Structure 1
Amino acid sequence: MTTILSGAPGAPAYPHAVDLEVLEPRFEVLIDELSLQPFSAGALSKALAGGVSEAAAVLRAIPIQEGRLLERGIGIIADLNPDLVVLTQNLRLPVTKTALELVEKNDPKHFRSLTLDADNGGRKTYTPDLIIVNRKTKLAHVIDVKRSLGSYEVSRINELKSRMLAAALVVPDLLYRDHHRLVAEEVRVVILNAENQRSDIAGGVWPLSDLDHLIEVGGAGKAIGMLRDRFHGRIDENWKLARNAFAGPKEEWARRGASADIADANGNETCDPGAGSITEFHQPAGRGQIRVGFARIPRIGTG
């Protein structure tokens, strides 16, 4: 297979790369699925006719659907690397008092070789958006995808990172027990920020444009950016169609290709709209030391 450069500054070469012609049909299906009902021209027109409250409710749904889009889009692209296992289900991780104290009161070098039993949980939990495991390198990434960190205070980001690191201590045990004996010898956490601002690479906050490094697929960052742009473009297009329902005759709708489900201005529509207990430290059977820390971007000539 031809080695591909990702195009990002300082990026190593990866043996796998995005082929947009192959991915585009899957992206279109995903965009259709996540935009059809809540953001179709008909649904938006009905919301506009219903007043400010209904329109605001539809707009609040955009971040939720976009989050799902990004998670699933990353999974689609990660499938291009046959060494990866992408997990999105049954990922609720216990966050014990002991784990939080280890993370908050110690340098990572003091707890990075420990793993905690996933059974000994407490009231607190953390559910990542994805866990991606490289079967070849035995490296697992615990991933939290954010549309934007613009409204996050530094203290809130730090609290999230501490929770992620504490939860990461149970990942090796959980993977081995609940996911077909998957083995992780190192666990790294990373927050992916889709707005590509407020990055802290060393501290585990990455721009989504650096997705190439995380899944070792050249062009992954550009592809996920294109997916996001097309999703927003679809919503914008449907919004314009819905808005024009109040400004022009139905012939204008037909001329612009509006679908049959578009409601009229009266709202008629033709389609359905703690603390945990002290936990025993142990090494999973048959495995060596487990390392936990923030995600790192590989460099050419380094391991």
Structure 2
Amino acid sequence: MTKTNLKTTTAPIYAHSADCPKLEARLEDLINELVASSLSAELLAQSLAGGMDDIATMVRAIPGHEGRLIERGIALVARCNPDLVVLTQNLRLPVTATALQLVGMNEPQHYRALTLDADHGGRKTYTPDLLIVNSRTKVAHVVDAKRSLISYESARIDELKTRMLAAALVVPDLLYKEHHRLVAEEVRIVILNAQNRKTDIDAGIWPMSHLDHLVEVAGAGEAIGLLQQSFRSRITANWELARQTFVRPSSHRGSPSLPTLVVVEEAEPDDEAVQNDSEDAVTEADVEPRLIKLGFAQVPARH
């Protein structure tokens, strides 16, 4: 994959900013909530007391906690823009055989004017992390936020994008029926990589530094980066406190030497909820052409 970056001199200036005390307080509250529930010094000390299995379980859970932190942080930052409707709950989108065939066997221009009925879903579904709708431009973004793509092979990323495009075909109908007749005239997909590596902007894989362009909030990407740094610093501080609590001063030789905290990159869990590989097919008669555009997220035009 190639990495593409916008020049800062051509990036637009947005009316809304992530640099505000109210947002900072909410992000700090978010860190406090996640740390208190699973990664407090007391809980980390209990893991140390439990032995290597408990320690390993705790360490493996950290990437998942950080992933949820990123998702919820993006939602908070996006809400700085009053034009955006940010949806994070009950977003299981059906992925039908018809939709997969449309995406897999045709170029985007051949199916981008179609939207499928959300009520004719199959057994396979895809659940995005966020669905962000701009009420002013009528553009909806199906967002999958990744802490890291380092463990993802190209084939797995391509398969994820196919599922996202197939699921996006039902978004206009779902928004209209289930979200107060919210209108989307164009649906775009984007995978946000918080690691800012292994990106391909034209193909919908964006670094988190480009979050500003997605939500039209200046400093949005930087805010998520600082959120991650603060979260990791808090965990490290709690880990050191837990070690000090667990290892009492002793004059005896051979005192236990406890490990420093190292989080190993592991593959993230699947992005879809699949009950069965078989699906209920949707006939062509169920597909009504509408003026809906479908594609990858787009960076703003240079000025």
Give me the TM-score of the superposition, normalised by structure 1: 0.85
2:281 aligned with 1:277, yes or no? yes
Q: CA deviation at 1:11?
A: 1.4
Counterparts of 1:184 and 1:34, CA distance in 2: 33
2:117 is matched with 117
1:208 is matched with 208
Runs of 4 or more, structure 1, over 6 Å off, are none
1:60 is matched with 60
Q: Tell me which amino acid in the other structure corresponds to 1:275.
A: E
Q: Which moved more, 1:99-108 or 1:60-69?
A: 60-69
Q: How many residues align?
A: 269
Q: Tell me which amino acid in the other structure corresponds to 1:199.
A: T
- Deviation by residue 1:215-240 (Cα, 9 ceiling, x = unmatched): 00011010111011101111011011
Q: Tell me which amino acid in the other structure corresponds to 2:112.
A: R
2:198 aligned with 1:185, yes or no? no
Pairs within 5 Å for 1:57-136: 57-136=57-136
2:126 aligned with 1:144, yes or no? no
List alignment gaps of at least 5 residues for structure 1: 1-5, 251-273
Q: Tell me which amino acid in the other structure corresponds to 2:245.
A: A
- Deviation by residue 1:185-235 (Cα, 9 ceiling, x = unmatched): 000000011111100000110111110000000110101110111011110
Is the alpha carbon distance of 1:107 and 1:296 closer, same or farther for their aligned partners in structure 2, counting shifts above 3 Å? Answer: same
Is the alpha carbon distance of 1:9 and 1:208 closer, same or farther for their aligned partners in structure 2, counting shifts above 3 Å? Answer: farther
Is the alpha carbon distance of 1:68 and 1:138 closer, same or farther for their aligned partners in structure 2, counting shifts above 3 Å? Answer: same
Is the alpha carbon distance of 1:7 and 1:27 closer, same or farther for their aligned partners in structure 2, counting shifts above 3 Å? Answer: farther
Counterparts of 1:294 and 1:59, CA distance in 2: 35
Q: CA deviation at 1:7?
A: 8.5
2:23 is matched with 23
Counterparts of 1:113 and 1:171, CA distance in 2: 13
Q: CA deviation at 1:246?
A: 3.6
Contact 1:8 1:210 in 2 (8 A): no
Contact 2:48 2:246 in 1 (8 A): no
1:157 is matched with 157
Contact 1:20 1:223 in 2 (8 A): no
Q: Which moved more, 1:177-186 or 1:11-20?
A: 11-20
- Deviation by residue 1:68-115 (Cα, 9 ceiling, x = unmatched): 111111111111111000001111000000100110111100011100
Counterparts of 1:8 and 1:44, CA distance in 2: 42
Q: CA deviation at 1:9?
A: 5.5
SS of corresponding position for 1:13: coil
Q: Tell me which amino acid in the other structure corresponds to 1:92.
A: R
Q: CA RMSD in A?
A: 1.6
2:270 is matched with none
Pairs within 5 Å for 1:216-231: 216-231=216-231
Is the alpha carbon distance of 1:218 and 1:168 closer, same or farther for their aligned partners in structure 2, counting shifts above 3 Å? Answer: same
2:187 aligned with 1:195, yes or no? no
Counterparts of 2:298 and 2:43, CA distance in 1: 43
Q: Tell me which amino acid in the other structure corresponds to 2:118.
A: A
Give me the TM-score of the superposition, normalised by structure 2: 0.85
Counterparts of 1:203 and 1:27, CA distance in 2: 30
Contact 1:7 1:219 in 2 (8 A): no
SS of corresponding position for 1:206: strand
Pairs within 5 Å for 1:28-47: 28-47=28-47
1:268 is matched with none
Is the alpha carbon distance of 1:49 and 1:181 closer, same or farther for their aligned partners in structure 2, counting shifts above 3 Å? Answer: same
